[in-house]
Chains A and B, each alone.
Chain A
């Protein structure tokens, strides 16, 4: 177990190095550069800015410097927002995205898993068809439709909730709901599929034959394995959801990370792109590792080696 963890943790370094290198060169391959605008920046000012950020140096030198600084978690200042460092931007925006994503994921799991279990235990019954129709709708309606529809209904037609901005508990409801629905629906479907497979297995038949109550069979014995697909989905899903959703953050004016990262790519804000990508990569690696650890607790057949 410890060797496994140690090896996985050591692998993080080369993985991040590859991600950093690929991103560094890919963003520079994109046409245009960070200091172009619809109106001309005076050539002298442009040269001064490029010099200030070391962008007039040869590429290998820029790369070396970037790696050296990145190792010390220093990504420099954002080219677009020159009074702020990339680290500051990530540290201010990430908690917002994490809060939004965290609530959404929590609701998705708390409602999605029971919905999937309900559907699986009443396979082809009314509850199953109802729950799965809802899930299908949840997956099919894109959040850029769902969000404005909720705003129209709950903020503009009836003023129950604020239409946007991130102030106070009431402002969390609509963005969390908009973000959660698709995940909820997907988790419900995964749970149903997982449960259906497990419920057919011999050890479940044994449990029933021993005279255990249906509730005990389902929740004690079947659920543990039935949610495994959900658990493996949760790793990357959690990484993605806490990094922020550009759509939800834009519709509800949430000051999260998603908008920053997408705009950074459009603006060729090299430093912010690199900082954001590395941060995301690290998050993804760590969460995937957690998923692997969780597997050993849920499924006795899996061993860490």
Chain B
């Protein structure tokens, strides 16, 4: 369902609101904050049952499914998750995420300092860093790569992720043409000084995002947009690209020139581009691949997979919701929107319809943001819903115009829409119709507000509620509901200026409460990450952002099925 909806490809630019003030609290991405509340895999891990073949591969090579064919794996221009995974295998940024907690750890930078006001970051790169072609890698490579992302003619879709940097937005939008005014400087080969617009507490988290990865300018200068071809590409990460066949596979080899090559235990990685979910699981079961990667498993398999020790299940920073077009009657009436919101039985959808593979969700922001206390969720309350509808002037739904639910083609979207159609008809006596649209038409209808109620979903880019709430600001390109509320906009601006982390999160919580009360969005469920990893593969952990550094992954080629000590170790690992 997910691949069909193109949802899984979409890790897109944070909206312009990435410029937010807060303190270092967010950077403490503690394991507790990311830990699943109920890890079902761990419960049964000691039983030692695995899904399909568990014969370790003969070669010391990790075989994984990377999913849909990447559009491009040029780090500065990459957009989708499969694109980003390839970019991250090849390149290393200033900081790298911890494999379990995603907390930033030294990468190309061995250490860094933050100024007292939180506006200046000084990164000290490791000495003698080199690209895989032997060219020295210096702080100037980072300056050049980041400015390349911001250069307007390069049309990098994720340029917005660099907007916390001073003047980055103005330069990217063509308001200033002098790139030296952008707050990035390299006074010498190993020092990179970054000046921010506002103290962005999650900045070190951003520097591990693929848009911030360095690119080899010597190769770009020579080959232009052909530089990512296997014959030309040069990288600075743990692996280099040996081969790429479109719609088929990427072959990576260990990079002997990587600064930490001694701790890289794999000889290589083969990443297949298998888009079909059933095929992905078939390959895993037959032992052709060792890791499905997140969500390349058909939804109906998931309840059945809970019993296997090699199945990982974890809440994911993403919410499935209905967007309400507030420019249309009767949805311009807040009481109608509230009625619709209270008349959705989220438990029934998540538990019965989706067989517990998702969590019912009544908030716009997902769970697990450190320090953030979300407002009370919207619950199922038919009596309240009816009262709201009566207040709107349509008691028992009398006289209320027909409402249409639009969704893009997918069996799951249809089933959910049918369930909600029933709920609104049963509880509110509304007349509800369904409208199924093919992907391109769906995108046009949502962006141009040609719908009543539309299915949507949103994935966070960093662990902070701002990555969700900023979408609903007046006129934001991702708002797509026509909703505009001056108080909401003011609260988000206020949070952006707030230096105290706790106060800032409290303001954001107020904003979310206002959003839920106004109901331009109707949250439905909380996504989960599901993947299968063979028991002989070590070092791939479930994380809240579907980010998996592969540098320290290793394969136990002597692994034997049913070794209880290892099964237990794995169970502990999942906690």
Chain A residues engaging chain B, CB cutoff 8 angstroms? 30-33, 36-46, 48-49, 52, 80-84, 89, 92-93, 148, 151, 155-156, 159, 162-166, 250-253, 255-256, 259-260, 266-268
State whether A250 touches B275 (Cβ < 8 A). Answer: yes
Given A45-B159, A253-B274, the answer on whether A260 and B247 have CB atoms closer than 8 Å is yes
Identify A48's interface contact among B152, B225, B278, B283, CB under 8 A. B152
- Bound together, the chains give a CA A32 to CA B450 distance in angstroms of 12
Digitize B437-453: 1 where CB-to-A-CB distance is under 8 Å, 0 elsewhere. 01111111101000000
- Bound together, the chains give a CA A39 to CA B13 distance in angstroms of 8
Of all A-B residue pairs in the complex, the 9 with the closest CB atoms, nearest first, are A40-B477, A32-B440, A39-B12, A255-B247, A48-B155, A32-B444, A255-B248, A163-B282, A45-B155
Chain B residues engaging chain A, CB cutoff 8 angstroms? 6-7, 10, 12-13, 15, 52-53, 69, 71-72, 74, 77, 79, 152-157, 159-160, 172-174, 225-226, 228-229, 245-249, 272-276, 278-279, 282-283, 285-286, 288, 438-445, 447, 456-457, 476-478
State whether A83 touches B248 (Cβ < 8 A). Answer: no
- Bound together, the chains give a CA A41 to CA B77 distance in angstroms of 12
- Bound together, the chains give a CA A162 to CA B53 distance in angstroms of 13
Given A42-B477, A48-B155, A83-B225, the answer on whether A164 and B443 have CB atoms closer than 8 Å is no
B173 closest partner in A (C-beta): A44
Extra pairs beyond A40-B476, A45-B152 (9, CB < 8 Å): A36-B443, A44-B155, A82-B72, A83-B225, A156-B286, A165-B248, A165-B283, A165-B288, A256-B247
Identify B157's interface contact among A45, A250, A252, CB under 8 A. A45
Determine which residue in A37, A44, A155 has the highest number of CB atoms from chain B within 10 A of its CB, and name it: A37
State whether B71 touches A45 (Cβ < 8 A). Answer: no
State whether B12 touches A266 (Cβ < 8 A). Answer: no
Residues of B within 8 A of A156 (CB): 52, 282, 285-286
State whether B72 touches A81 (Cβ < 8 A). Answer: yes
State whether B6 touches A253 (Cβ < 8 A). Answer: no
State whether A259 touches B12 (Cβ < 8 A). Answer: no
Determine which residue in A32, A41, A268 has the highest number of CB atoms from chain B within 10 A of its CB, and name it: A32
Residues of A within 8 A of B226 (CB): 83
State whether B478 touches A255 (Cβ < 8 A). Answer: no
- Bound together, the chains give a CA A252 to CA B248 distance in angstroms of 11
Residues of B within 8 A of A251 (CB): 276, 278-279
State whether A82 touches B440 (Cβ < 8 A). Answer: no
Identify A37's interface contact among B10, B155, B245, B248, CB under 8 A. B10
A45 closest partner in B (C-beta): B155
**25 A-B residue pairs with CB within 8 Å:** A30-B441, A32-B441, A32-B442, A36-B447, A38-B10, A38-B12, A39-B12, A42-B477, A44-B152, A44-B174, A45-B152, A45-B155, A46-B155, A48-B153, A52-B155, A82-B77, A83-B72, A159-B53, A163-B283, A164-B288, A253-B279, A255-B247, A259-B275, A260-B247, A268-B440
Residues of A within 8 A of B477 (CB): 40-43
Residues of B within 8 A of A48 (CB): 152-155
- Bound together, the chains give a CA A53 to CA B456 distance in angstroms of 29
- Bound together, the chains give a CA A81 to CA B476 distance in angstroms of 27
Identify A80's interface contact among B71, B159, B273, B445, CB under 8 A. B71
- Bound together, the chains give a CA A46 to CA B12 distance in angstroms of 14
B441 closest partner in A (C-beta): A31
- Bound together, the chains give a CA A52 to CA B457 distance in angstroms of 30
Residues of A within 8 A of B476 (CB): 40
A27 CB, nearest partner CB in chain B, Å = 10
A-B contact count (CB 8 A): 147
A79 closest partner in B (C-beta): B71
Determine which residue in A42, A166, A259 has the highest number of CB atoms from chain B within 10 A of its CB, and name it: A42
Determine which residue in A39, A163, A266 has the highest number of CB atoms from chain B within 10 A of its CB, and name it: A39
State whether A163 touches B71 (Cβ < 8 A). Answer: no
Residues of A within 8 A of B156 (CB): 45
Given A40-B15, A42-B160, A83-B225, the answer on whether A266 and B286 have CB atoms closer than 8 Å is no
A259 closest partner in B (C-beta): B247
State whether B274 touches A164 (Cβ < 8 A). Answer: yes
State whether A250 touches B276 (Cβ < 8 A). Answer: yes
Residues of A within 8 A of B441 (CB): 30-32
- Bound together, the chains give a CA A48 to CA B154 distance in angstroms of 8
- Bound together, the chains give a CA A49 to CA B157 distance in angstroms of 10
B476 closest partner in A (C-beta): A40
Residues of B within 8 A of A83 (CB): 72, 74, 225-226, 228-229
Residues of A within 8 A of B283 (CB): 163-165, 253
State whether A39 touches B440 (Cβ < 8 A). Answer: no
B462 CB, nearest partner CB in chain A, Å = 14
State whether A250 touches B15 (Cβ < 8 A). Answer: no
B415 CB, nearest partner CB in chain A, Å = 20
Determine which residue in A38, A155, A268 has the highest number of CB atoms from chain B within 10 A of its CB, and name it: A38
Residues of A within 8 A of B457 (CB): 38
Identify A255's interface contact among B245, B286, B439, CB under 8 A. B245
B171 CB, nearest partner CB in chain A, Å = 11
- Bound together, the chains give a CA A80 to CA B83 distance in angstroms of 12
Given A81-B71, A89-B246, A253-B276, the answer on whether A162 and B157 have CB atoms closer than 8 Å is no
State whether B440 touches A31 (Cβ < 8 A). Answer: yes
State whether A155 touches B282 (Cβ < 8 A). Answer: yes
State whether A164 touches B440 (Cβ < 8 A). Answer: no
- Bound together, the chains give a CA A89 to CA B174 distance in angstroms of 34
Identify A163's interface contact among B13, B228, B229, B279, CB under 8 A. B279
Residues of B within 8 A of A31 (CB): 440-441, 444-445
State whether A84 touches B13 (Cβ < 8 A). Answer: no
Determine which residue in A89, A253, A256 has the highest number of CB atoms from chain B within 10 A of its CB, and name it: A253
A288 CB, nearest partner CB in chain B, Å = 29
State whether B282 touches A151 (Cβ < 8 A). Answer: yes
Residues of A within 8 A of B13 (CB): 39-42
A92 CB, nearest partner CB in chain B, Å = 6
A52 closest partner in B (C-beta): B155
State whether A44 touches B172 (Cβ < 8 A). Answer: yes
Residues of A within 8 A of B153 (CB): 48
- Bound together, the chains give a CA A38 to CA B15 distance in angstroms of 13
A244 CB, nearest partner CB in chain B, Å = 11
State whether A37 touches B12 (Cβ < 8 A). Answer: yes
- Bound together, the chains give a CA A43 to CA B16 distance in angstroms of 12
State whether A38 touches B6 (Cβ < 8 A). Answer: yes
Given A81-B69, A83-B74, the answer on whether A36 and B440 have CB atoms closer than 8 Å is yes
Determine which residue in B77, B246, B445, B477 has the highest number of CB atoms from chain A within 10 A of its CB, and name it: B246
B285 closest partner in A (C-beta): A156
State whether A39 touches B10 (Cβ < 8 A). Answer: yes
Given A38-B443, A162-B288, A268-B440, the answer on whether A255 and B246 have CB atoms closer than 8 Å is yes
A45 CB, nearest partner CB in chain B, Å = 4
Residues of A within 8 A of B445 (CB): 31
Given A48-B153, A52-B155, the answer on whether A253 and B439 have CB atoms closer than 8 Å is no
Identify B286's interface contact among A32, A37, A162, CB under 8 A. A162
B227 closest partner in A (C-beta): A83
- Bound together, the chains give a CA A252 to CA B246 distance in angstroms of 15
Residues of A within 8 A of B440 (CB): 30-33, 36, 266-268
B174 CB, nearest partner CB in chain A, Å = 7
B87 CB, nearest partner CB in chain A, Å = 13
